[in-house]
Amino acid sequence: MKSFYTILHRVSKPSLMFLIISSTCIFNAAAYSVSQISTTYRLGQVFITWTNPSASNLQYNVYRSTTKFTSSTQLSSGTYMGFVRDNSAKNIEMSQDQGNAKYFKITGDGLPLASTKGLYVITCTSNQPYYYAVTVTNLITNLEDKSISIGQNSLSNAVMETVQKPQPVFQDSIMSNGNEMKYRYVQFVNNQETPLYPAMTSVGSYGFNFYIVQRGTSSSFPLIVIFNSSGSTGTNGVNVDPQFTNCCILGLSDFLPLPVSGGKLGGGEDTYFFGYHEDFNIYSTAGIIPLKGTIKTYTAKRNIEAIRWVKSVLPIDKSRVYLKGTSSTGFGALVTAMLYPNEIAAVYALVEPMMIKPTGSKSTLYKLMWGNTSDDLLSDALDPTTLEPLPAYTILDIRKMVDVNENINMPLIFDVHGKKDKTVPWSTTMITWFDSLNLNRVGGVFSWDQRTHSGSGKNFLTEETIPNFYRYQTTKSYPAFSNCSINQNPGIGTSTSGDPYGAYNGYLDWDDQITDEECEYSVNVFVKNYYVGGVLISDQYSTCKTDISFRRLQNFHPAVGATIAWKNYNSSNEIIQSGSFVFKGDLMTITNLTVNKSSNKIELKISNCQRNTDVVATSNEHVYFTPSFGGYTVHADVSEDGEVLVNMFDLLGKNLYHKQVMMTKGMNTLEIASEGHGMYLVELKGKSFSSVNKLLF
């Protein structure tokens, strides 16, 4: 064979110049290949690793087949699985957060991958052996080198795969500024749909971070889920108020490795904890706005999978899962609750946008994710009533989602906004948000004051707006108030109209001891004192009118067409209102009920209902509180004589009051004196009942 040197000497000068230029182009457009391909199977996933070439602006394409890859002709759309980009073994979000390079661990007790390695994690879809090959595309030329080298970029032996539920992988632990240990995990997800593990990203595979914090010891922890902004998963303190002890905390973030200036990955843009189009490239801000296809709820699925995993491996009370977020993360908490309402007991959202659409400098990016608002592409989430796909921009508007979910078991929502907020402005949109919560009879309290987006200038103390999460359970019903006659006035959408601070349902509460039986339902409701900034405001009421809807019913399930008789008893056990209605299968609501400060019992009974003798009746004990001079009066209706232990704690857990009292069968009263202004927990424990209530003095 003639040498390249000999050929050079046989060409003319013009030809030589052309060849030199062409050769230079060829060398600049060099092809690249990986080496040392290897696989590890673990719990329903295959972890594919390799050694990267020493270059950047590369894309690594993964192929899978039941036969060994020996030829480039086998690299087709039928065997193609997806791709990753440069530094696929690097945990970009964690690296940015800590200021030094952090690399993924693929086993909890192993070492981080080397910086020279690449990583692709695929979820197993069938129980059989597969071969893998990895090729490289040069993104400068968009040319893919499809050459096969067995043992280097193609497996010489198949990996046996088994369909299982994949598990997150422990990465490390780090002490937060609040002196709480965060245990950090990664969910490795990809674009494969399986019955056990849905697709949770679009173009290939990626590792997403979350952390766990444990407070106290318990055999059954409540789970508080914090939605964090990008980069807040390291040493930052855990944003859960210290009064919530004996709980587990799950911290979720929403991070995409989009490019920053110079094309370097790691922009960290988020999806508002929702998702994006099935063809969206998570490594690029360029592309074509989709006109068809499906908007996948990738991020919401990933978050609920993390929640479910924590519930499966830790001693979690599955009925006590709570979500909390602020600003965009508050929207994340709400959208998760709306998509998975049966799994969430309550939500606390502060200064969050209640609807999202592409606007401003990021308009194009979010159109790439979700399409144009005018096209309103369908999502993969279903309407719970019609079972038809929901439009993406319906999900991105929580005002619409509470309407979609009106007749199902929605969690309680506790919501706070500010009239001086410039980031999420107080506007007519805000008024329609309050109206939608009220008209769709959503349970909870919806507050506003003079705060800015950062919380400065607020009138309410945190303890006056944050819910006592532990009261609420997915296995326990509750009354949802609406159209209360003593609600404050939010105005018409300008910062100066209406009351400067107030709430919908802020004056109303109920006793946690609810009768929820096959034929009968009853709950005690009352008007409570209303505090702002720790001070009892001048507008206090002894009575009001309100509608009450009965949500999350456990045993009281009348048949469609059944007649339900209802009664409203005052504190003297006198019937002050009564009526009946025919159940139509939707949300049960009684309108224009009188509710007094001294409490009212609202009772519902199904006409001609025969109790199923196999059903064990709920406890007859009822405990509720009414305001009294200098404190509260405890009303305890117990079913047998016995001693009852009464404790009062401040929000730091200090015991301020400890007493044993003898109660007799029937109604008993007990005075609890004020220990000062603020929020306190009052606990009653008897032979066959216990009750914990949060009281504001």
Q: What is the pLDDT of residues 347-363, one digit of tens each?
A: 999 999 999 999 888 89
Longest Cα separation, the chain: 115
Token digits for 198?
């849905």
- Per residue in 90-123, pLDDT (tens digit) is 999 999 888 899 999 999 999 999 999 999 999 9
Mean pLDDT of 243-272: 85
Q: Which residues are paired to 681 by β-bridges? A: 649, 694
pLDDT at 617: 34
Mean pLDDT of 594-615: 85
Please indicate, yes or no, if residue 613 is contained in any of the structural domains. Answer: no
Return d(Cα 56, Cα 520) in angstroms, integer: 69
Question: Are residues 194 and 107 part of one domain?
Answer: no
Cβ contact 528:544 at 8 Å: no
156-170, 423-437, 678-692: least confident range: 678-692
Token digits for 145?
């080198």
Helices marked H in 244-327 — which ranges? 298-313
Question: Are residues 444 and 491 part of one domain?
Answer: yes
Question: Are residues 188 and 156 part of one domain?
Answer: no
Percent of the chain at pLDDT > 90 equals: 76
pLDDT at 89: 97
Give a three-class secondary structure readout of 341-401. HHHCCEEEEECCCCECCCCHHHHHHHHHHHCCCCCCCEEEEECCCCCCEEEHHHHCEHHHH
Question: Are residues 227 and 148 part of one domain?
Answer: no
Instruction: Give the closest residue to 675 by CA, choosing from 688, 657, 653, 693.
Output: 657
Cβ contact 331:354 at 8 Å: yes
- Per residue in 114-150, pLDDT (tens digit) is 999 999 999 999 999 999 999 999 999 999 999 999 9
Which residues, 6 or more positions from 72, have their beta carbon under 8 angstroms from its beta carbon? 146, 147, 148
Q: Examine the pLDDT at 569 and tell me if it is beyond 70.
A: yes
Which residues, 6 or more positions from 454, have their beta carbon under 8 angstroms from its beta carbon? none
Question: Are residues 21 and 76 part of one domain?
Answer: no
Alpha-carbon dihedral 669, 675, 679, 681, rounded to 10 degrees: -50
Mean pLDDT of 369-375: 97
Please indicate, yes or no, if residue 379 is contained in any of the structural domains. Answer: yes
The CA angle 42-45-50, to the nearest 5 degrees, is: 90
pLDDT at 281: 96
Residue 677's pLDDT band, with cuts at 50, 70 and 90, is: low
**Looking at 15-87, which runs of residues are DSSP E strands?**
35-42, 45-51, 58-65, 80-85
CATH number where 428 lies: 3.40.50.1820
- From 460, 481, 511, the end of a domain falls on 511
The CA angle 116-118-124, to the nearest 5 degrees, is: 155
Return d(Cα 136, Cα 142) in angstroms, integer: 10
Who wins on pLDDT, 241 or 73? Answer: 73
Return d(Cα 422, Cα 638) in angstroms, integer: 52
Mean pLDDT of 485-513: 97
Instruction: Give the closest residue to 460 by CA, choosing from 511, 398, 414.
Output: 414
Please indicate, yes or no, if residue 569 is contained in any of the structural domains. Answer: no
Residue range of the domain that includes 675: 622-697
Please indicate, yes or no, if residue 544 is contained in any of the structural domains. Answer: no
pTM given for the model: 0.83
Please indicate, yes or no, if residue 359 is contained in any of the structural domains. Answer: yes
Question: Are residues 290 and 206 part of one domain?
Answer: yes
CATH number where 676 lies: 2.60.40.3080
Please indicate, yes or no, if residue 568 is contained in any of the structural domains. Answer: no
Alpha-carbon dihedral 503, 507, 512, 518, rounded to 10 degrees: -90
Mean pLDDT of 667-684: 77
Question: Are residues 372 and 478 part of one domain?
Answer: yes
Cβ contact 233:253 at 8 Å: yes
- From 511, 529, 548, the end of a domain falls on 511
Mean pLDDT of 571-583: 96
pLDDT at 204: 95
What integer best gives the mean pLDDT of the chain?
Answer: 89
pLDDT at 60: 98
Please indicate, yes or no, if residue 272 is contained in any of the structural domains. Answer: yes
Question: Looking at residue 28, what DSSP letter applies?
Answer: H
Return d(Cα 276, Cα 298) in angstroms, integer: 7
Question: Are residues 264 and 334 part of one domain?
Answer: yes
Q: Which residues are paired to 650 by β-bridges? A: 680
Which residues, 6 or more positions from 239, have their beta carbon under 8 angstroms from its beta carbon? 226, 228, 324, 326
pLDDT at 667: 74
pLDDT at 230: 58
- Per residue in 553-563, pLDDT (tens digit) is 999 999 999 99
Question: Are residues 42 and 22 part of one domain?
Answer: no
Question: Are residues 368 and 317 part of one domain?
Answer: yes
Instruction: Give the closest residue to 672 by CA, choosing from 639, 623, 602, 638.
Output: 623
Report the number of distinct structural domains present in the chain: 4
Return d(Cα 477, Cα 489) in angstroms, integer: 28
Q: Which residues of 132-168 are buried (b: 16+ CB within 10 A; e: fewer)?
A: bbbbbbbbeeeebbbebeeebbbbeebbebebbbbbb
Please indicate, yes or no, if residue 412 is contained in any of the structural domains. Answer: yes
Please state whether 455 falls in left (phi above 0), alpha (psi between -120 and 50) or beta: left
pLDDT at 443: 97
Mean pLDDT of 389-405: 98
Return d(Cα 122, Cα 189) in angstroms, integer: 7
Percent of the chain at pLDDT > 70 equals: 91
Q: Examine the pLDDT at 232 and tell me if it is beyond 80.
A: no
pLDDT at 84: 97
CATH number where 44 lies: 2.60.40.10
Alpha-carbon dihedral 29, 34, 35, 36, rounded to 10 degrees: 170
Q: Which residues of 69-89 are buried (b: 16+ CB within 10 A; e: fewer)?
A: beeeebbeeebebbbbbbbbb
Question: Are residues 269 and 127 part of one domain?
Answer: no
Amino acid code (one letter) for 542:
S
- Per residue in 178-212, pLDDT (tens digit) is 889 999 999 999 999 998 999 999 999 999 999 99
Question: Looking at residue 261, what DSSP letter applies?
Answer: G
Which helix (H) or strand (E) segment is 26 a member of? helix 13-28
Question: Are residues 97 and 11 part of one domain?
Answer: no
